[in-house]
Structure 1
Amino acid sequence: MVIEIFRRREQKYLITKEQYAELVENISSYMRSDKYGTDGKYTVKSLYFESPDNKIYFETKNKLKFRQKLRLRVYENTHINGTAFFEIKQKHKKVVNKRRLVLPLAEAYRYLYSSEEILEDYETSNTQVLREIHHFRQLYNLQPEMIIIYDRHALHGLFDPDLRVTFDLNLRCRNDDLFLENGSQGENFIDPNLVVLEVKVNDSVPLWLTRILQDLNCEQGSTSKYCASSELLRSKDIPIGITKEDLLVRGGE
């Protein structure tokens, strides 16, 4: 069963592919591959929404204590009748709350692009979450803005089922084709030799993992996929493949 409402803490790192390979090797006795994809590896594609005055971008860029995003997400090469996840992601400091529902991708488009406002008529796993999404869209006047795509390698704790570690590679974006079923093409908005690492826990990061991260010189920092891709798409003169120095803010969020 898909978890629809959950809360967790997240720590982000921007690491090299060499650090990624070493880290996977070092944590292999503590972690298992995600059950999805091949050995925990799969493609993630998300359609993000923005307001006419870019509220979402500025809330994230300015690191407001409370900020939120809306996204429609699919995995792998989903077709028009495949499964999609509509999510509100809220962040307060380092605590992330997600409220999401499951629905066919075609049904998500029907909600987005039709004038139908009887929310109970949509085929979805959770009408209450759809009401929250609808309220958020109306409050911010949110419209589809861009698609972010990356290749994910996900691991779960063997002894701590609440521990999750993800590595996101080949991060790319586009705003010229906002239909998720239309392939995984896009422009790289982070240097392809870099990897976004996220450590996700309910309470605190295990001591063994903290030590491994320190031994490999993995430095914690704030890396917003949304802001980086927005800046690339809105200013085409920004070089493709933004460097670590451009993106990494030392000390975290």
Structure 2
Amino acid sequence: YWDKVDGFDFRRKVRMRLYGNEPVLPESIVYLEIKARVGNRMAKRRLRLTHAEALVLTGQEEAPAAVIPTVRNDAEQQVYEELEYLFSALRLQATSVVSYQRLAYGGHEQYPDLRVTFDTAVRGRIDNLSLLSADAGSSHTILAPGWAILEVKVNQTMPFWLGELLSRHRCVPRRVSKYCAVLERCGTIRRRQHIFL
């Protein structure tokens, strides 16, 4: 959280990502992702696992004892080992559950690296972090109804027409972290006290 707020040039986070609205089962497919940012460049590496396998890798209390995560190739093995190291060395623990509805658009052959997303109904919680539980805990709304987070993702240069369209509608770049917004909304972040000597 503070790395993001303080604007550190190098930041890394680990998250478990799940798609869809179906109830989560031990065999549900999830992705463990390592998202790293250096300056304005971002890289994402991820591992596809069942929810039960992800619980084992992350060392969660509810992890089934008989499950062993399956790694399918060398690239996955590298991500697996990095995740294993991060969870054991840094003792990472889940801090929040963030959920939202996403409408995603991808560029066609002329703009293969262009992706535009609209996230709505952004909510989060910091209690009852199990995805298996039917009880959603106390979920807090982050965005007011009718609002959306618009993300434009492009690896190279944004198409001119899209820049013009965003400018015409007075869209300006603004960094938004749904994770930080959830922690702030749930009241878990206390202002830092600065001590001057």
With the shorter chain as reference, the TM-score category is 0.7 to 0.9
Report the residue type matching 1:91 in the other structure.
Answer: R
List alignment gaps of at least 5 residues for structure 1.
1-56, 237-253
Distance (whole Å) between structure 2 residues aligned to residue 183 and residue 189 of structure 1: 21
Distance (whole Å) between structure 2 residues aligned to residue 163 and residue 157 of structure 1: 5
Q: Which of 12, 21, 30 is residue 84 of structure 1 equivalent to? A: 30
Greater strand fraction, Structure 1 or Structure 2? 1
Aligned to 2:39: 93
Report 1:64-75 matches (<5 A).
64-75=8-19
Residue 184 of structure 1 deviates from its aligned partner by 9.2
List alignment gaps of at least 5 residues for structure 2.
190-197
Distance (whole Å) between structure 1 residues aligned to residue 180 and residue 133 of structure 2: 23
Secondary structure in structure 2 of the residue aligned to 1:220 = coil
Q: Deviations over 1:5-61 (max 9, x none)?
A: xxxxxxxxxxxxxxxxxxxxxxxxxxxxxxxxxxxxxxxxxxxxxxxxxxxx11011
Aligned to 2:53: 107
Aligned residues: 176
- Residue pair 1:74, 1:180 contacting (<8 A) in 2 also: no
- Residue pair 2:126, 2:183 contacting (<8 A) in 1 also: no
Aligned to 1:135: 85
Aligned to 1:58: 2
Aligned to 2:156: 203
Indicate the percent of aligned positions where both proteins have the same amino acid. 33
Distance (whole Å) between structure 2 residues aligned to residue 226 and residue 207 of structure 1: 31
Secondary structure in structure 2 of the residue aligned to 1:221 = coil
Report 1:132-211 matches (<5 A).
132-158=82-108, 159-182=110-133, 185=136, 186-211=139-164
The TM-score, its normalising length taken from structure 2, stands at 0.81
Secondary structure in structure 2 of the residue aligned to 1:231 = helix
| Bigger relative CO (Cα 8 Å, ≥ 6 apart) | 1
